[in-house]
């Protein structure tokens, strides 16, 4: 039996398929993008307000989210045009965040 692996998004009420590049996140592409936008925007907002950054969030955005988007861009699970637009938009927001961090030193904290 091989039923331990769920191929459906873990968000309640969502039956979206999980693309192979997202099996670690257990999210469909739409919910993954939602999550990525929320976390990226929280990080940018913290930068602009000078409030402490959630380091775990930031690392997830700059490593995991970026890797997934790049991966999906060239994968066989080609997203539809609308999803592709959101992915490109996400890359742009991540690039802004990256740029900001490269030029400012921001306080950060690690959750215990
Ligand atoms: Zn979903």
The overall average pLDDT reported for the chain is 85
Ligand 1 center from residue 100 Cα (angstroms): 30
Ligand 1 center from residue 30 Cα (angstroms): 6
Ligand 1 center from residue 18 Cα (angstroms): 8
Q: pLDDT tens across 69-108, in order?
A: 888 777 666 678 898 899 999 999 999 999 988 887 766 6
HSE of 7, CA atoms in CB hemisphere, 13 A: 5
Q: pLDDT tens across 35-53, in order?
A: 999 999 999 999 889 888 8
pTM (global) more than 0.85: no
- Please give the C-alpha separations between residue 66 and each of 76, 84, 95, in angstroms, as whole numbers: 18, 14, 10
Q: Taking a C-beta distance cutoff of 8 angstroms, is the pair 88, 66 a contact?
A: no
């Amino acid at each position: 039996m091989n039923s331990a692996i769920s191929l459906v998004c873990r968000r309640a009420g969502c039956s979206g398929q999980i693309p192979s590049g997202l099996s670690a996140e257990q999210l469909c592409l739409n919910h993954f993008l939602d999550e990525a936008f929320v976390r990226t925007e929280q990080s940018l907002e913290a930068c602009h307000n000078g409030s402490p950054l959630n380091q775990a969030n930031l690392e997830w955005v700059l490593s995991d989210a970026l890797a997934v988007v790049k991966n999906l861009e060239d994968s066989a699970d080609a997203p539809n045009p609308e999803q592709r637009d959101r992915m490109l938009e996400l890359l742009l927001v991540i690039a802004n965040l990256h740029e900001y961090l490269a030029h400012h030193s921001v306080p950060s904290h690690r959750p215990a």
